[in-house]
């Protein structure tokens, strides 16, 4: 019997059977603003721990800075050649990441 590797999207294995049954009875959250605290304590989805704005914005900013340095250096033709693509990827990444939750 082979087991699949653990994924952050797998259900929480630390919950007991009673906690899993109780979790299914929780009401759906009301629609509100993202800043509003939920009325019921819900578990945080594992993907929301990965897709947070701070580290991804920093990575995008580093890519943009690297692209600018590659564009302005006079030594390596390969760096100049790839500079536009690095700048473009960093800019698009920053646009996407700016919509992630904080």
In Å, how far are 4, 93, 94 from 81, measured between CA atoms? 42, 20, 22
**The pLDDT value given to residue 16:** 80
> 102 in a domain, yes or no?
no
Minimal CA–CA distance to 79: which of 88, 89, 69?
Answer: 69
Number of domains, the chain: 1
Write down the pLDDT at residue 38.
58
Q: Which two tokens stand for residue 38?
A: 């939920």
pLDDT < 70 regions, the chain: 1-12, 28-44
> Would 4 be classed as within a structural domain?
no
Could you give the C-alpha distances from 33 to 29, 38, 42, 43, 95, in angstroms and in order? 11, 10, 16, 18, 22
pLDDT given for residue 12 in this prediction? 66
Residue 89's domain spans which residues? Answer: 17-97
pTM for the full predicted model: 0.56
Domain annotation covers residue 8: no
């Amino acid at each position: 019997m082979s087991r699949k590797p653990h994924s952050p999207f797998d259900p929480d294995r630390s919950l007991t059977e009673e906690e899993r049954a109780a979790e299914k009875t929780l009401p759906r959250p009301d629609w509100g603003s993202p800043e509003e605290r939920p009325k019921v304590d819900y578990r945080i989805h594992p993907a929301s721990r990965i897709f947070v704005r701070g580290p991804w914005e920093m990575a995008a900013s580093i890519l943009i800075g690297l692209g600018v340095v590659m564009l302005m250096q006079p030594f390596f033709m390969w760096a100049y050649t790839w500079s536009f693509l690095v700048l473009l990827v960093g800019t698009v990444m920053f646009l996407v990441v700016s919509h992630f939750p904080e």
